[in-house]
Structure 1
Amino acid sequence: MEMGYWVENRWVWDLKWKERISGEDTLKLGVMKQIISSYSLIKGKKDTWVWTLEGDGHYSVKSAYDLISGLDTTAGVTVFSKLWKACAPSNAVALGWRVLLNRLQTKENLARRNIPIGNLSCPWCGSETESTSHLLFTCGFAWKVWTLLLRWLNLVLVLPDEPSYHFAQFVESCSLLKRNALSAVWLASVGMLWNGRNSVIFREETVDTNDLSERIKLKSWNWLRARQHEFQYSFFEWCNDPLLCLP
């Protein structure tokens, strides 16, 4: 309650810290701000616990069992530690965090929360339900984008459809020193695919896989150039031989 105040019926966050925030904590703070700003507080209403694995918000033994059975805690911590170190801005990392936790506002997730959607089909192919995994990884459109990127990076991989394993497989395909940069490429890719999806749905625009892959190259190059002092390569060099540009 000491970290904000009400302006009429709108809550305004006023985060204060005893010590100065710096380094990696700055990135984590940006992610935290993205998370808390996505919730709308209601004046006069008390907090309640919600079980997010069920559409009605109530706990069930089955959903808890399914979660425990399929969860590798150690692997999850490792994946997130790599995500926090990515050479990318905090909003991009926050989006990646939501992807790994399946918290994107896809049609499937919205329907699970009893939000009326109507057509649940994927905007790329129109033949399957729009889930996080399908939209960003397994749909033919997304798969072609990832294929173009793997060809550009000169990598031969079989990428899983589960987000955390997809991220881990993509990032760990190169040496340790290159992983933070590859994390940036992965974040730029999921970000561009998500933005492209929104352009198709809300602005009825046409999105091309080749154009999308070129925009991913440009975005990741801008991030690396801004966040890695040793990255002094031109965009032409980045496009021509990306792995040679990475430390």
Structure 2
Amino acid sequence: MVTIFSMGFWEQNNWKWRLDWPASMQQTEAVEAEALAVLLADVKPVQARADRRKWVPESSGQFTVRSTYSFLQNMDVTNVIDTDVVCALKKLWLNDVPSKV
């Protein structure tokens, strides 16, 4: 089992992540790796505690499909649709093509 403490080390009271990536990554993988590094920049394990897993969206800390579904349903996702796309979609629904072609 992988633990947080196996993914980094303490150096002069500063936590250093040791994320081992393949030597060759695709562009999208490299972008995602950099995004992860940014997210983890201020995340530091508590030295006095043992590693444990906790699913934050569930009050019990246990992962469930139900809690994941609820979490995703409650996410505030705002997508801006280009006005040209909106216009094209409106025209699409106004066409005279039969529904079963």
TM-score (norm 2): 0.50
**1:9–1:43: 8 Å Cα contact kept in structure 2?**
no
**2:57–2:71: 8 Å Cα contact kept in structure 1?**
no
Distance of aligned partners of 1:174 and 1:13 in 2 relative to their CA distance in 1, 3 Å threshold? farther
Residue matched to 1:68:
69
**1:4–1:14: 8 Å Cα contact kept in structure 2?**
yes
**1:10–1:41: 8 Å Cα contact kept in structure 2?**
no
Residue matched to 2:20:
16
| Residues 67-125 of structure 1 deviation map (CA, whole Å, 9 limit, x = unaligned) | 536857xxxxxxxxxxxxxxxxxxxxxxxxxxxx85xxxxxxxxxxxxxxxxxxxxxxx
- Selected match of 2:55 from 51, 55, 72: 51
Q: How many residues align?
A: 79
Mark the structure with the bigger radius of gyration.
2
Distance of aligned partners of 1:9 and 1:44 in 2 relative to their CA distance in 1, 3 Å threshold? farther
**2:10–2:16: 8 Å Cα contact kept in structure 1?**
yes
Gaps of at least 5 residues in structure 2 are: 1-5, 86-101
Distance 2:43 2:27 in 1: 26
Distance of aligned partners of 1:25 and 1:173 in 2 relative to their CA distance in 1, 3 Å threshold? farther
Distance 1:7 1:70 in 2: 36
Residue matched to 1:41:
45
User: Percent identity, aligned pairs only?
Assistant: 16
Question: After superposition, where does 1:16-165 map in structure 2 within 5 Å?
Answer: 16-54=20-58, 57-59=59-61, 65=66, 67-68=68-69, 71=72, 163-164=76-77
Secondary structure at the counterpart of residue 68 of structure 1: helix
Distance 1:52 1:69 in 2: 12
Distance 1:69 1:13 in 2: 31
Question: After superposition, where does 1:152-191 map in structure 2 within 5 Å?
Answer: 163-164=76-77, 166-167=78-79, 170-171=80-81, 174=84
**1:4–1:12: 8 Å Cα contact kept in structure 2?**
yes
**2:8–2:18: 8 Å Cα contact kept in structure 1?**
yes
The Cα RMSD (Å) is 3.5
Distance 2:13 2:71 in 1: 41
Secondary structure at the counterpart of residue 17 of structure 1: coil
Residue matched to 1:6:
10
Gaps of at least 5 residues in structure 1 are: 73-100, 103-162, 176-247
Deviation at 1:33, TM superposition (A): 1.0
TM-score (norm 1): 0.25
